[in-house]
Amino acid sequence: MAAPDILPPKGVRPPIIGPGQTFGTITDRIAGIVLTKHTPVFWVLVVAFAAALFGMLQTAVAYLLFKGTGIWGITIPIGWGFAIVNFVWWIGIGHAGTLISAILLLFKQTWRTSINRFAEAMTIFAVMQAGLFPLIHTGRPWLAAYWLFPIPNTMGIWPQFRSPLIWDVFAVSTYFTVSFLFWGIGLIPDFATLRDSAKTLVVRRIYGMLAMGWRGSAKHWNRYETAYMLLAGLATPLVLSVHSVVSLDFAVSVVPGWHTTFFPPYFVAGAIYSGFAMVLMLAIPFRYLYGMQDFITLRHLQNSAKVMLATGMIVAYAYGLEMFMGWYSQDKYELAMVNNRLHGPYSFYYYMLILCNILIPQSLWLNSVRSTPWKLFLVAIVVNTGMWLERFVIVVMSLQRDFIPSSWGMYWFTKWDMMIFIGTMGFFTLLFFIFIRLMPAISIFEMRTLIPQAKVKE
């Protein structure tokens, strides 16, 4: 365990790496988490719990495939419920990773180095959760699994390219592929480090294969840097495009509350908002449990909090704009939508959303909140709750009352909805903890560039 966080004097920002670290300590500390034979008790407990939830997810999905989507609370007119809410939520969470890795890399924000690896892992695991939902929410997933892809066939039947759901398929699968490659390439030098530090033959062989013959030659480094920068360049627009495309699922429709042109930026901001909240939700326990306070310092937490504050304000602006445009349009359906948000049967969730996403995060203006990990952790939880509610409000409350009053309806989730939602959280946690145990959760070689000795005069 490292020393507890010490707040630097006023006006001085906390360092991005704790004092006294050397190349050796960095390598040992980070690789030690993976190469140790001693698996921490908390790890076993968390993984056991997460695996149980994953089992619940499998049960619920199996039953879903057996019976049909009717086991959920969806109905006519609310044809989309928890599945789509969860999909958008998980995709949103998946945003911070690539933003941190790619965009901050291009902007040469060196503080990203300590958190980019697990943020990328978070992205990949979150997109895996997200990707589950569009498939299983269909009535016939065994057909949707391949009819949604443009696979040439003798019938000459293609997907319908005008549908945003098809754009979704491309956007999400591209995003997953690029994120995965980016993550994988970044891992290669570290796998080599693990290979070289491994104490047993089997471990050495496994990491050796994963390292793909990395020897650390200048040529390797040169090619690595080129590839990494190229992928960063590729991934950057994806950060913006994925959630823009997801938002088009709604914006393209005619449903009041969905049919809005500002959805793409609004959704991207919201995604980064929730993504950073998730980064904090993972980083704070991680640095505490593994004593990584020297690598993930208060500086990282503060910076993440600032990004949250900024994106949170954009989201707040979007909420305001939604209301304003409803009024400004003077369209009876838009007005009714606004009215339904404020006074409808689900208005409680709307007010909770305002509380979670706008009011409580205002505490991030305070340095004391930004610099106190447990407070940040609580705010992050609140923000992610709020972001889930936001998607609930958008999906359910808009569909609930649209044009024809006779067809207005209500939505109640069922236990199967909840089992699948919680199950994906378990699946995510399971994947994340397995990742921490088997792969360097912080980029070793990049961390080494952060210590003063690494600075080379050019």
Partner 1 sequence: MSNKSDSSPNLISANQIKPASLELEAVRKKLAEAKGPKYWRTLEELSDQKAFGELLEREFPRQASEWVDPVSRRGFLKLAGASMALAGLAGCTRQPLEQILPYVRQPEQLVPGKPIFYATAMPFHGHALPLLVETHEFRPTKIEGNPLHAASMGATDLFAQASILNLYDPDRSTTLTHMGELRPWGEFAMALNSEVRARKALQGAGLRFLTGAVSSPAFGWQMKTVQQSFPQSKWHRWDPVNRDNMRAGSKLAFGGYYDPIYKFENAAVVVSLDADFLSGAWFPGFVRYARDFMRGRKLENGDQMNRLYVAESSPSTTGAKADHRLVLRPSEVENIARGLAAKLGVAVTAGHLSGDQQKWIDALAADLMEHKGKCLVVPGEFQSPAVHALTHAINGALGNIGQTVSYIDPVEVDPVEHGQSIRELIADMNAGKVETLIIIGGNPAYNTPVDLEFVKALDKVKLRIQFSSYKNETTDHMHWHVPETHYLEAWSDARSYDGTATIIQPMIMPLYDGKSAHEALSAFTDQLGTSSHELVQTYWKSQHPTVDFETWWRTAVHDGFVKDSASPARQVTPKIAALPALPAADPGAIEVSFRPDPTIYDGAFINNAWLQETPKPLSRNTWDNVAMISPAMAKAWGLYLLNDENDHQSDAQRILEVEFQGRKVEVPYWPQPGHPDNAITLFLGYGQEKTGRVGAGTGYDAYKVRPSTAQYIGAGAIITVTNRFWDIAVTQGHFSMEEREPVKVANLEEFIKNKNFAHEHPDEEPKDGGDRQESLYPNFKTKENFYQKYAWGMSIDLNSCVGCQACAVACQAENNISVVGKEQVQRGREMQWIRIDSYYEGDPANPSVYFQPVPCMQCENAPCEPVCPVGATVHSTEGLNDMVYNRCVGTRYCSNNCPYKVRRFNFFLFADYDTPSLKLGRNPDVTVRSRGVMEKCTYCIQRITAARIASEKEDRDVRDGEIKTACQQVCPTEAIVFGDINNPDSRVRKIKDGPRRYDLLAELNTRPRTTYVAAVRNPNPKLASGTERA
> Interface residues with partner 1 (CB under 8 A)?
67-71, 73-80, 137-141, 143-144, 147-148, 157-160, 162-166, 169, 249, 252-255, 332-333, 336, 343, 345, 399, 402-410
C-beta closer to partner 1: residue 78 or 119: 78
3-state secondary structure of 38: coil
From its phi and psi, is residue 212 left (phi > 0), alpha (psi between -120 and 50) or beta?
Answer: left
- Other residues' Cβ atoms within 10 Å of the Cβ of residue 254: 9
C-beta closer to partner 1: residue 211 or 255: 255
C-beta closer to partner 1: residue 141 or 291: 141
- Residue 284 CB, nearest approach to partner 1 (Å): 38
- Residue 212 CB, nearest approach to partner 1 (Å): 37
Decide if 1 contacts 291 (C-beta within 8 A). Answer: yes
C-beta closer to partner 1: residue 7 or 65: 65
The DSSP result for 43-96, as a single string, is HHHHHHHHHHHHHHHHHHHHHHHHH-GGGSS--SS----HHHHHHHHHHHHTHH
- Residue 413 CB, nearest approach to partner 1 (Å): 12
C-beta closer to partner 1: residue 255 or 353: 255
- Residue 351 CB, nearest approach to partner 1 (Å): 16
Decide if 380 contacts 278 (C-beta within 8 A). Answer: yes
C-beta closer to partner 1: residue 167 or 182: 167
DSSP-assigned letter for residue 11: T
- Residue 267 CB, nearest approach to partner 1 (Å): 17
C-beta closer to partner 1: residue 170 or 180: 170
- Residue 326 CB, nearest approach to partner 1 (Å): 16
C-beta closer to partner 1: residue 294 or 334: 334
C-beta closer to partner 1: residue 107 or 149: 149
Task: Give the torsion through C-alpha atoms of 34, 36, 41, 47, to 10 deg.
Answer: 30
- Residue 329 CB, nearest approach to partner 1 (Å): 12
Decide if 384 contacts 278 (C-beta within 8 A). Answer: yes
- Residue 331 CB, nearest approach to partner 1 (Å): 9
- Which residues are CB-neighbours of 267 under 8 A, at least 6 positions away? 88, 92, 243, 244, 246, 247
The count of residues in the chain is 458
CA distance 231 to 178: 7
- Residue 337 CB, nearest approach to partner 1 (Å): 12
The DSSP result for 232-268, as a single string, is HHHHHHHHHHHHHHHHHHHHTS--TTT--TTHHHHHH
- Burial group, residue 115, by CB count within 10 angstroms (0-12, 13-18, 19+): buried
